[in-house]
Structure 1
Amino acid sequence: MTLLETLNQDMKQAMKNKDKITLSVIRMVKASIQNETIKLGKDSLSEDEEMTILSREVKQRKDSLQEFKSAGRDDLVQQLETELDILQTYMPKQLTNEELEAIVQLTIEEVNATSKKDMGKVMSAIMPKVKGKADGSQINKLVQKQLSN
């Protein structure tokens, strides 16, 4: 079942349950998917493209969450945390720190990276492997740590 089909089913359930927050989040994600579909001029998106959109939505909310926390807007922090929890249910299972470290180490060996100059090469090789399963900034830190040793 595609992400869009899952969203449609969950949207119907949220309507039945009168769950306004879940309904709102699902509608936002569906709108993002439809906008991307129109922008690319396709009938439907691949699973990979859908995951990219979902990851972008999660990242936007995480960034906003940090801003609201630093501004002391607890009302908006609570709402964003709820939205993030809802979005996380559609994301693939996140990799553990140990799994990420192993992937980073393996990729560094694959591309024969030796210094921080090779950072771009390593990141471009890793990101497709972990798409949607890990945060890019976390991977960036791990790669920097490994290359500085």
Structure 2
Amino acid sequence: MSLKQKITDDMKAAMRTGDTRQRDTIRLLQAAIKQKEVDDRQELDDAAIIAVIEKMLKQRRDSIDQYEAAERRDLAAAEKEEVNILSVYMPKGLADEEIEALVAEAISAVDAKGMQDMGKVMAILKSNVAGRADMGKVSAIVKAKISG
């Protein structure tokens, strides 16, 4: 079953059970997917849908930080619920050891000698770890390995 179909099925289930938070979050996700399809003029595959979900998760995490800084725990809790709902559609995350192994592989693949090769390494890693690891964390690991 495609990711898009799973999202649609979950939407129907949320409507049947009356779970308004899940229903509304999935509607936002479906709208974001549809908007991306209209913008790109093509139907999105699972990888592109994961990219949309990643963007939505990042927005929610940023909102949580801002709400907590403003001591709006009610709004932060609502955003956390949305993060939990959206996280279901993400692939299983990579362990730190797996990330480090992929980084080492990418560095040797491009024969990276220094920071000037970081872009090439990150380009390889982006396709391998998309949706399965925080790219900021991956970038920090690459920097440490290349410069060290």
TM-score, normalising length: structure 1: 0.93
- TM-aligned CA deviation for residue 36 of structure 1: 0.9
In the other structure, the counterpart of 2:116 is 117
The DSSP-based 3-state class of the residue aligned with 2:93 is coil
Q: Deviation of residue 11 (structure 1)?
A: 0.8
Distance between the aligned counterparts of 1:114 and 1:65, measured in 2?
Answer: 39
Structure 2 match to 1:132: 131
Q: AA paired with 2:71?
A: G
Moved over 3 A (4+): none
Look up the SS of the partner of 2:21 in the other structure. Answer: helix
**What is the CA RMSD across the aligned residues, in angstroms?**
1.2
TM-aligned CA deviation for residue 69 of structure 1:
2.1
1:58-77 → structure 2 map (5 Å cutoff): 58-77=57-76
Report what 1:48 is aligned to.
47
Contact 2:118 2:143 in 1 (8 A): yes
Q: More displaced, 84-93 or 116-125? A: 116-125
1:129 CA displacement = 0.6
Deviations 1:53-106 (A, max 9, x none): 111111111222222222222111111111111111110001011110111111
Shift in Å, 1:17: 1.3
Task: State the shift of 1:14 in Å.
Answer: 0.7
- 2: CA distance between counterparts of 1:93 and 1:68? 28
Structure 2: runs of 5+ lacking an equivalent? none
Report the counterpart of residue 38 of structure 2 in structure 1. 38
Q: Tell me if structure 1 keeps the 8 A contact 2:4–2:46.
A: no
TM (norm. structure 2) is 0.94
Q: Which stretch shows the higher mean deviation, 70-79 or 91-100? A: 70-79
Residue identity over aligned pairs, in percent, reads: 34
Query: d(CA) in 2 for partners of 1:17 and 1:80?
Result: 21
Aligned length: 148
Letter in 1 for 2:92: K
Unaligned runs of 5+ in 1: none
Read off the aligned partner of 2:119 and give its amino acid letter: G
